[in-house]
Every structure is written in C-alpha cells, then in structure tokens.
A and B are shown apart, each in its own frame.
Chain A
Amino acid sequence: MRIEKEQDVVPFRNRVKEYAVKIGMSLVNQTKLITAASELVRNMLKYAGGGTVLMEVISQTRDTGIRLTFQDKGPGINDIALAMKDGYSSGKSLGLGLPGTKRLVNEFDIKSIVGEGTTVSILKWKNG
C-alpha cells in the first residue's frame, strides 16, 4: 500500500485494523499495533515524504501475527542508536516515535542507509 499524503493515514490504519480483526487479535493488541503503525507511517511522511507499506499475516504453529514493513526512499537515519533513544528527535516532536513504537510491538527491526532510505519492520503476535 502506498502512502503519499497525510489523508492516507486514516485509511491505512483502517486496513491494519481489518487485518487485525480478521486474525482475531485482542483489542489491546490491535490498538497497540495500529498506534505503532500510525507512528511509523507518520515518520515516513514527515522525513521521507511517503513510501510503501507491506502487510503480511504471519502464521506459525503456535501463533498468528501481523507483520508490517515500511519502506521509504528518504534521507535515511544517520545514527540509529541515537534515533532509538527516548526523548531524542531530529524533527519537532516528542521524540517518542521510534522507541515508543518498539515498546508496542513484539519484533522491531530497522535498517537505514543514509541517502537511500529506511526500512522498518514490525511484528505483533495475536496473543503477544
């Protein structure tokens, strides 16, 4: 799914919710996943002017979950360790985005190449 403008955020969140409801995710986990997704999609819009999101349902023997992969071709992140620190923000925000998002999901993976773009992937288990 492509994200290009701020009006895309709400429909995108609704899509994530549909997926989460379909696999029977609990309300609290749904809310956490959607909030995390919302943070990441905002980052993408703010720093890279948009990008794409891939939604996948992951099934394992013990659990089902949703993986979202956010890919942009923005300026990239210089110092990922610093960006992951609470309270740090290069833009004008609270600086909770990345570290806060990480706390909301089960798996969080970030890769960034300066000048080429950033890929963030999150995974939330149904019962996680």
Chain B
Amino acid sequence: MDRIPILRMGHFLLVTIQIDLYDRLATNLESDLVQMVNKTEAKGVLIDISALSIVDSFMGRILGNIGSMSKIMDAETVVVGMQPAVAITLIELGLELKGVHTALNVERGMELLKEKIGSYDREPEDDEDSTE
C-alpha cells in the first residue's frame, strides 16, 4: 500500500506531502505519524504541504487531527508552505486549522519548532554548563 514517508531528524519528524492525497493515504498518514511520535519520542512534527494544490475540509480535518493527537503525545505540529490560493480558499470555506502552528516555509517551521521545544532542549545543556 502507498505510504507517505516520514523522516526523522533529531527530535523532529518531517513529512513532505508531494502528491494530492486521496483519503486512505491521508488517514494512513495520520495513524503512522502518531505511532512514529510514540516510537521515536519526537517533540515536533513538521508537515510540508507546499505541493498540495488544494486542501479541502477533509484534508483540513486530517491536519487538525494530527495536531491534536501529537499535542496529546507531547509533540508540537507545524504546517509549512501553504500556497496563497489554498490559504484564501481555506478561510472562505471556514476552516481555520486550529490546533496546528503554521510557518511560511520549512526553514521558518524548523525555527518555530525549536523555539517551541526550546525549554526542553536547553535545560540539560544548562546543567552541563553549570558543572563545568
């Protein structure tokens, strides 16, 4: 069965959606991601949707679900790269993508994630510094 690859990078999971998802693929991604968050103890999930030409209410719900589920699993979700036309359409449709953070591109998304989990990352380092 087709799957969207999930890449692990340090504390983060990266997902790049390159094709227009049909429903099964999207729901698979949702469950795969949550399981990966559990398995890898990831602190952040970054989803790149720059290749998606449309996001309808179903896809919006999937993104929202991923955000909420990850949140419960103690991970932050950032959706990056939304096309302007998609953003206009989403808002007119009435979908606000609550529960997920957004950033303009992957780079900013990574920064945002690092900021969000910053306290978690820094504490052990601070301890090391103080012992030196």
- A-B complex is real: yes
A: residues with CB less than 8 A from B are 6-7, 9-10, 13-14, 17, 27-28, 30-32, 34-35, 38-39, 42, 86, 93-94, 96-97, 99-101, 103-104
- Cα A27 to Cα B92 in complex, Å, equals 15
- Asked if B85 contacts A27 (CB within 8 A), the reply is yes
- Asked if A35 contacts B56 (CB within 8 A), the reply is yes
**Chain A residues closer than 8 Å to B89, beta-carbon distance:** 28, 31-32, 35, 104
Find residues 1-26 in chain B having any chain A CB closer than 8 Å to their own CB: 20-24
- Asked if A100 contacts B86 (CB within 8 A), the reply is no
> Which of B54, B58, B88 touches A42 (beta carbons < 8 Å)?
B58
Among B22, B56, B85, B92, max chain A CB count under 10 A is at: B56
- Asked if A10 contacts B85 (CB within 8 A), the reply is no
**Chain A residues closer than 8 Å to B56, beta-carbon distance:** 35, 38-39, 42
- Cα A28 to Cα B60 in complex, Å, equals 18
> Which of A6, A39, A94 touches B23 (beta carbons < 8 Å)?
A6
Tell me if B108 is interfacial: C-beta within 8 Å of chain A.
no
> Which of B23, B24, B86 touches A31 (beta carbons < 8 Å)?
B86
CB distance from A94 to the nearest CB of B (A): 6
> Which of A10, A28, A42, A100 touches B93 (beta carbons < 8 Å)?
A100
> Which of B22, B61, B86 touches A7 (beta carbons < 8 Å)?
B22
Find residues 44-69 in chain B having any chain A CB closer than 8 Å to their own CB: 53-58, 60-61
Nearest CB in chain B to that of A27: its residue: B85
Interface size class on chain B is 20 to 34
CB distance from B62 to the nearest CB of A (A): 12
> Which of A13, A28, A39, A94 touches B20 (beta carbons < 8 Å)?
A13
CB distance from B61 to the nearest CB of A (A): 6
Given contacts A99-B94, A103-B94, contact A31 B53 (CB under 8 A): yes
- Asked if A35 contacts B93 (CB within 8 A), the reply is yes
Please give 5 more A-B residue pairs, beta carbons under 8 A apart, in addition to A38-B58, A96-B57, A104-B89. Answer: A28-B89, A32-B88, A97-B57, A100-B92, A103-B94
- Asked if A93 contacts B53 (CB within 8 A), the reply is no
- Asked if B92 contacts A104 (CB within 8 A), the reply is yes
- Asked if B20 contacts A32 (CB within 8 A), the reply is no
CB distance from B19 to the nearest CB of A (A): 8
Given contacts A6-B23, A10-B22, A28-B85, contact A34 B92 (CB under 8 A): no
